[in-house]
Amino acid sequence: MLKITDPDAPMTFDPWGFLGPKRRRMLDRGWPGLFRKHLLDALPVEKLAPRFHPTHGRPTKELHTLLGVLLLQQMRDLTDAEAVEGLAYDTQWHYALNLAGEEDEEKYVSERTLRNYRRALVEMGLAAELFESTTARLAKVFKVNVSKQRLDSTHILSNMRRLSRIELFTAAIARFLRNLKRRDAESFARVPTELAERYPTKKRGGCFGHTKPSEAERTLRQAAEDLLLLAELFKADERVSGTPSYRLLARLLSEQCEVKREGEETRVDLKAPREIRSDGLQNPSDPDATYDGHKGPGYQVQLVETYREESEEDAKEEASTPDLIVYVEAEPAHLHDGRALEPALESLEKRDLLPKEISTDTSYGSDKNVRAAAKRGVELIAPTPGKPAGDRLGLEDFELDDSTGEIVRCPAGETPEATRRSVDDDGKPVYIALFDVDVCMSCDRFERCPKRWGKHHAEVRYDNKQLRLAKRRRRERTAEFREKYRWRAGQEASHARLKAMTGIGRLRVRTLPRVRYAAELKAAGFNILRCITAWRVRNARPGPKNRPESASLTPRSLLIGWGSLFWPSWARAM
């Protein structure tokens, strides 16, 4: 049965009157006051409500309270036990969630209940709704300018250990044998005794625990042969082959090994490390984690945040208007950054947060992304990928006609004898500039020039895409571009602060749905923490129209005010 209360419902008496004016002011000016006044009613309880019957069954916990606790847990990077204690005893949490009573029904939730509600949010994908609703409210309250944004990814880790190749084989086989022994003793009896003894059926033990470096190759080959034996042994048994641990076994075999069948004989060869795909299994405990060639196994999070180009004179105004993360998406680590721009712009467009300019690094700066952004009226500010190697000349080094796109002059100052247009095999237009062969042969830039030899001329051929890239590279040499692009570097500091303040760099969960849940709520919590400074600046000198809640009339304040009229002046001065 649903239990939802209106956080904006008026109260006859102020339930927080027992707090002194100084402590009350601290709460009003800190994150509890911000959360209570602007975010509590923005929590998407109506999205979670369909999971429960409106009138039948045991009453739920108050949904605003539960969603608030789950958000604060990720914001403060707390365990379940610490989150339960925060709800039970922390006055800041009580004020933020508007919990005035002292009953257990209001201020207590068990760890099991917390896990159940978290599972519901993961299954229903409500963490994204929570992030979007709180971000939209903060952007509205602080009038955040979303015209300038920047996009980048950061690497994060789930709660898994980094395994060597031997440890990966051993962990996958041991997990399969443990599950098989526990669930199907009859099938486990089919496993050769010698093989079963090589791997632990409990959490500790096994002969591969202390492999010498000199024996690593032989041990790894033995593990590969055992992997093949188990895969072939239970391949036709649907009861076993349908289990998750067997599927991981089969996946590992296909990714790390090459099975060769010669007649009735089957043997297995290990693949070379360079032949293993980056989306391969990294740890059986987290099958969704993949490998990034620069940063290792784990996940990556795509983040878009707002920024402002401010001078020192505008420091005070900047403090009152925070930067916000407006888009977050967790994904496997092996995916290329370039594919993340279009989904980000699509999400921002649906939420009316589309920028006019978005700054990224070179990974996002493909011609396809520039054109996709331009279709939405967004200017993509990013270095152009694919710069010519070494000191070789590119099309950007030629002087081009802005209107026609034709070459006017080469880097040596020579004009082409003729220019014409043709089409390639795919029917796309091609620009051709023809230069005198003798002049090109005597040029000191001869070896670095992107020419091609024709029948009678030296030719420079290029298409529309190469022309667009050349124009972008020419623009990147200007001071205007450097001034715009330098603001992108600020996102690296934002990533460092996000990891330090919310613990997103190393999560307590595994698998992509849970990683995505944690990343979205931590980003929402980080936005709240970023707004604290702006919130304090706005409430630094309250006037009659912006008086803090500590000034509200309570029975105690009325009594003191009435009595002061009859106190003598010498008593009031004490």
Nearest to 248 by CA among 182, 198, 176: 176
pLDDT of residue 572: 40
d(CA 185, CA 191): 10
110 domain-assigned: yes
Last residue of a domain, one of 447, 479, 511: 479
**144 within 8 A of 321, measured Cβ to Cβ:** yes
169 shares a domain with 73: no
Residue 511 belongs to a domain? no
Three-state SS at 416: coil
Residue 549 is predicted with a pLDDT of 47
- The answer to whether position 305 is within a domain reads no
Mean pLDDT of 197-208: 64
Q: Does 63 reside within a domain? A: yes
Examine residue 351 and state whether it is found in any structural domain, yes or no: no
Q: Are residues 20 and 111 in the same domain?
A: yes
- Among 54-68, 99-113, 318-332, 559-573, whose mean pLDDT is lowest? 559-573
Q: For residue 46, which of 133, 138, 154, 169 has the smallest C-alpha distance?
A: 133
Question: What is the side-by-side strand order in the sheet with 418-423?
Answer: 418-423, 429-435, 458-463, 452-453
Domain boundary among 479, 504, 526: 479
Query: Which residues contact residue 380 at a Cβ distance below 8 angstroms, ignoring those fewer than 6 apart?
Result: 341, 358, 360, 364, 365, 369, 370, 373, 374
Range of 435's domain?
Answer: 395-479
Do 112 and 32 fall within a single domain?
yes
Assess whether 219 and 112 both reside in one domain. no
pLDDT in tens, 130-153: 999 999 999 999 999 999 999 999
* Beta strand residue intervals within 476-534, DSSP E: none
> Which of 252, 275, 298 is the last residue before a domain boundary?
275
Mean pLDDT within 50-67: 85
In a shared domain, residues 190 and 262:
yes
529 in any annotated domain: no
Neighbour tally for 335: CB within 10 Å:
17
Label each residue of 354-404 as H, E or C: CCCEEECCHHHCCHHHHHHHHHCCCEEECCCCCCCCCCCCCHHHCEECCCC
Count the domains in the chain: 3
Sequential DSSP letters for 291-359: EETTTEEEEEEEEEEE-----GGGHHHHHTS---EEEEEEEETTS-GGGGHHHHHHHHHHTT---SEEE
Do 189 and 270 reside in the same domain of the chain?
yes
Please give the pLDDT value at position 309.
Answer: 82
Q: Which residue in the block uniquely carries the two structure tokens 């008086």?
A: 547
pLDDT of 47 above 80: yes
Which pLDDT belongs to residue 205? 47
114 and 202 in a common domain: no
Strands (E), 160-295: 257-262, 265-270, 290-292
CA angle 481, 487, 488 (to 5 degrees): 95
Residue 270 near residue 256, CB atoms below 8 Å: yes
Name the pLDDT band for 381 (thresholds 50, 70, 90).
Answer: very high
Supply 457's token pair. Answer: 């001329």
* Residue that wins the pLDDT comparison between 324 and 395: 324
Same domain? For 38 and 107 the reply is yes
d(CA 277, CA 293): 10
Mean pLDDT, range 396-419, rounded to an integer: 88
- Whole-angstrom distance between the N-terminal and C-terminal Cα of the chain? 56
Is 349 among the domain residues? Answer: no
Q: Which residue has the tokens 């379940």?
A: 80
Residue 61 resides in a domain? yes
Q: What are phi and psi of 208, to 5 degrees?
A: -95, 10
